[in-house]
Structure 1
Amino acid sequence: MPSDQETDLRDAIQFHGHLCPGLALGYRVAKAALRELKAERPHDEELVALVENDSCAADAIQFITGCTFGKGNFVFRDFGKHVYTFYNRKTGEGIRIAEDYRGYENDPRYPELKKRQEAGEDVSKEFQQYKMDKAAAILRADDAEIFRIERAATPAPEEAKIRASLRCSRCGEKFMESRGRMNNGVVVCIPCSEKG
C-alpha cells in the first residue's frame, strides 16, 4: 500500500502532467507549509498562499494545499522568485518559505547540455534525465537543504470579495466591477480601455 506521501505526489504529478524539479519543489514547499502552520487542506479560504513565480511549483502548491485562484486564496505576485508565503487565517500565523537549494549550482551538466542543444544536437533524453535526477534529489533532501523558513513579516491578505459584474460598453462582455475603466465617459473592460 502506498504511503500518503507517495499518493499525494502521484496525484500532484497527475494534476500537473509530469514530474519535474519545479513540481518537486512545490510539493516540498506545500507539505512544509501545512506542517509548519499545523493546517490541513482547507475547504474554503482558511489557508492562503502567496506565490512569487509562475513555475511548475505553483501547480503542486495549489493541488496539495487546496489554495486556488478560483477561491481567491492563491495570490500570484510576478517577482520571478521561488518564494512562497502562507497564512493560516484560523491561527493568524504566517510563514515565508524561500528556496535555497544549492545541490545543482555547480553541476556542469546543465550548461553543457544547453550548449549542445543550442548547437542543434538533440539532447532531449539527457535533459529529461537531468530533470529527473534534480527532482529526485529535491524530494529526498532535508528541508534545510532546500529552503529557508521564517515567520511572515506582513499580515495575511484580505479574504476574496465577490464583486458585481458589469457589461462593457464597447464589446458587451461582462467583467468584474473592480476591473472597469472609464473611457470617453463610459465604463469599459481592461482590453477595450487599452485599445484607446
Structure 2
Amino acid sequence: MCETHDHQHFEATGKYPEFEECVKFHGHSCPGLATGYRAALAAMQALGVARPYDEELVTVAETDACGLDAIQLVTGCTAGKGNLIINDYGKHAFSFYAREKGKGVRILIKNRDMPGKAELDGLRKKVFGGSATETEQKRFYELMAAATDALLLIPQDELLTVVEIAYNPPQKARIFATVTCPDCGEPVADGKMRTVDGKTVCIPCSLASRQ
C-alpha cells in the first residue's frame, strides 16, 4: 500500500487493456500470456469489478509463469503494491479477491490438447536447447502464434474453470519503518530484520552469521 494513498473505489468504465498492451508489457506474445489474460478478464467479470486504484483487488497466483504479466496489467495487482501474492506450486491457477465486494473466485487453466501440441513441445526443446535449425525455429514460432490466437478465441468454459471461493484474502500490505543494520550499515525495513544471538540484523547478515 502506498503511504500517499487516498481511498478510491473501482473505476466504473468496465474497460480492460487489450491483449496487445499485455504483449508490449511482457515483451512477446505467447500461449502463457494469453491464458493469463483470459483468466484476468474472467476474474474481473465474475467479480463485477474494473481495474482498481490500489489494493481493492488481490491476486494469489499458484505459478510464476508468463501469464502473471497479463494479470498484473489487467487487474492492477502487483508485487510492488502488495496485492499480488505468488505461491509457486507450478499450477496455472489464480485466486482473486474483491475486498469491497467481499467475494472471491479461483480460476484454473484447463489441461487440454491443442492442435500441434506434440510438435510444439518437441521443437521447444530444440529451440531453447540451441539445436534447432532456422526452419525449425520458424515453425516453432508459427505454432506458438497459432496456439496463442486459439487461446484468445476459445470459449471460456473450454479453457477455464471458474469457481467462487470463500472470501479469505491475504492481509493488506504493511508499511515498514526504515532502520539501519548494525552489521552491514545498510538501510532495511524494520519488519524484515532478524534476531541472531541476541543481535537484530538484516536477513543477508543473519544468513552470513550462520555460515
Per the normalisation by structure 2, the TM-score is 0.83
Residue aligning to 1:134: 147
54-63 or 102-111, which deviates more: 102-111
User: Is 1:54 the equivalent of 2:64?
Assistant: yes
Per the normalisation by structure 1, the TM-score is 0.89
Identity of aligned residues (%): 39
Please state whether the residue corresponding to 2:162 is helix, strand or coil.
strand
With over 3 angstroms needed to count, the CA separation of the structure-2 counterparts of 1:105 and 1:174, relative to structure 1, is: farther
163-172 or 98-107, which deviates more: 98-107
Output the amino acid matched with 1:68.
T
Residue aligning to 1:172: 185
User: Per-residue CA shift, 1:69-118, capped at 9, x if unaligned?
Assistant: 11111111111110100001011000000110403388321343246555
Q: 2: distance between equivalents of 1:31 and 1:116?
A: 33
User: Is 1:120 the equivalent of 2:137?
Assistant: no
185-194 or 86-95, which deviates more: 185-194
2:103–2:167: 8 Å Cα contact kept in structure 1?
Answer: no
173-182 or 76-85, which deviates more: 173-182
Q: Which runs of 5+ in 1 are unaligned?
A: none
Which one of 73, 81, 93 corresponds to residue 71 of structure 1? 81
Alignment length, in residue pairs? 192
User: Is 1:181 the equivalent of 2:194?
Assistant: yes
Output the amino acid matched with 1:112.
G
Please state whether the residue corresponding to 2:91 is helix, strand or coil.
coil
1:101–1:147: 8 Å Cα contact kept in structure 2?
Answer: no
1:52–1:80: 8 Å Cα contact kept in structure 2?
Answer: yes
Output the amino acid matched with 2:22.
A
Equivalent positions of 1:151-162 (< 5 A) are: 151-153=164-166, 155-162=168-175
57-66 or 165-174, which deviates more: 165-174
Q: 1: distance between equivalents of 2:125 and 2:62?
A: 29
Q: CA deviation at 1:149?
A: 0.6
